[in-house]
Structure 1
């Protein structure tokens, strides 16, 4: 057991002793009580010295732990709390405590439908009650992106449990282009998040290639206990190492990409790289930069570049440069037209 945990057990034991005002507590009594408590937790004798207990009392008296315990000595040998109602468990939360609790609760609530967190429901409610009682009236410091209308999250836990227990799924899946859903016998490997959407990645029964299904397009999830689950030694990190987003293409679309970033956007791209392969090739006289990265030329990467507008220029490869130029040309021609009347 870690020493800091032993210390917490001693503090709680001393606190419990001193709350008992019907008994006189000597230093030796407190030593024995701490030794008994540690034996109960560890199942073995732990030698608590007089010196250790004296230091514990000094720390509890100080504000180092936030206790400021009113421990006093009377009759030159007995210890007690000057305030009979005091306990280290009744210390009001500090402003920093409130901030940490508030943000922790908000993060935990993001997973409220996840079975691994079901046992935390009561804890979260008690924390929320504590925060309400001692409310600081400050707005949240940490603000998390969330979309309460995001579809498919009701399937998250079923898919997660199937991956953990290695069970095949039967997915009822309808793509944006399909009129009717299809039934897919699926071996799920990982759950992946990108751009505030969740995807399940795995292999369809009878097909060797890895497939990706968006949770928001899944209409129903069932288990197939009769089908043998196979992993094929799938590794998510290896599978996505050359990809921005979730669409993994074949090696013919894996290319070195050279980009010119203007001065205004260079710091953002350098401090938050597009991909782990990104390297700085040159810093230009006007403050812009030229970077290079090696990625699949998928639609997610196209959208990333298009989102920067004229701030990014594709220098290489030619296939990507022409593709992005064509998209901007279409957009330009579209905006040359008169604004349609509403």
Structure 2
């Protein structure tokens, strides 16, 4: 096995290089060291280490068995669809996953580590399925979601305070638009990711961009000053459902009445975490909270069907009535 320090980072960079371009050895070494220096400033590897890494890629028994032809002056996969992500975990990699789970077990009573432990279990379960092991976990995920490829680059852009040029094309747009964007935070909602930031071209704070096929691509703008606002993102999201915040929206009190015992379901999985219950005996089937009115809120309300009634505000109650009437017209004889 090659030099183990930042080996996984090197393998990921090399995998990307082999899939996307034909590199000469010196160019490959330079590109690899540039990638390493971003996370490990001042560090680089030698020609010997790179040659050992290439051997790992070609090794059929203890490596990745990559389609990397020998005897050529440049390095590129002969199969453009190959990636080391398709390969099962190697023995030492499986050991690292198990070691990480053992380490996390020390913090099993601390909620801070619950999500990471869950992610490791999901990853291990999917790996074992490739070895014909019986599936244990069945969890909710979006297999068609392609936007996840943007998550890490955008995360790094936010950490490094980089300004981006976004190329975006809406579902109904005839052509794409390009604008300057200063990314601030990433938010997940309904199994999709969104990036929020400052759209300088349109001079709009807290602009959201979905990480899906509408985000065509983006590039980093060099020598452009990064602009960051003091938005309280916790408050921003706790006063709304979803990710769309209409420009002229205001926070309003919403009162809901549930039927058929559905208030118990809502209380175990509320779409608005800051809900309050009423103390009156005749209102035990009701809750209230303060939020803005947007499409995501209406969609959540509609998901309860006949088991939910909006009591306040009148404008939202009217919206629900309109939706109900329209739906009824779909099924009229």
TM-score by length of 1: 0.57
Equivalent residue in structure 2 for 1:279, among 261, 276, 286:
276
8 A contact 1:105–1:128 mirrored in 2: no
Specify the SS of the correspondent of 1:209.
strand
**Greater C-alpha radius of gyration:** 1
Aligned equivalents of 1:243, 1:105: Cα separation in 2: 29
Measured in 2, the distance between the counterparts of 1:288 and 1:180 equals: 52
1:243 equivalenced with 2:240 (yes/no): yes
* Contact map agreement 1:284 1:290 (CA 8 A) in 2: no
Alignment partner of 1:159 out of 154, 159, 169: 154
Q: Secondary structure at the match of 1:180?
A: coil
Q: 2:261 aligns with which of 248, 264, 270?
A: 264
Choose the corresponding residue for 2:285, options 282, 285, 289: 289
Aligned with 2:326: secondary structure? helix
How far did residue 109 of structure 1 move?
9.0
1:310 paired with 2:306, answer yes
Give CA deviations for 1:225-267 in whole Å, capped at 9, x if unaligned.
Answer: 1211111223321322211111123575320001001133111
Tell me the CA shift for residue 283 of structure 1: 6.5
The C-alpha deviation readout for 1:140-188, integer Å capped at 9, x for no partner, is 1x43322221122222121111001110111111112212111121000
Q: Which runs of 5+ in 1 are unaligned?
A: 1-92, 112-123, 338-342
1:120-131 paired onto structure 2 within 5 Å: 128=127
SS of the equivalent of 1:257 reads strand
1:146 corresponds to which residue? 141
The normalised TM-score by structure 2 is 0.59
Distance (whole Å) between structure 2 residues aligned to residue 167 and residue 185 of structure 1: 11
CA-to-aligned-CA distance 1:79-115 (integer Å, 9 cap, x gap): xxxxxxxxxxxxxx9xx99xx9xx989834978xxxx
Judged with a 3 Å threshold, the aligned counterparts in structure 2 of structure 1 residues 190 and 333 are, in CA distance, closer, same or farther, namely same
Q: Figure out how many residues of one structure are paired with residues of the other and give that number.
A: 222
Please provide the CA RMSD for this pair. Answer: 3.4
Q: Which residue of 2 aligns with 1:334?
A: 330
What are structure 2's unaligned runs of at least 5 residues? 1-97, 106-114
Q: Using the TM superposition, give the Cα deviation of residue 282 of structure 1 relative to its aligned residue in structure 2, in angstroms.
A: 5.0
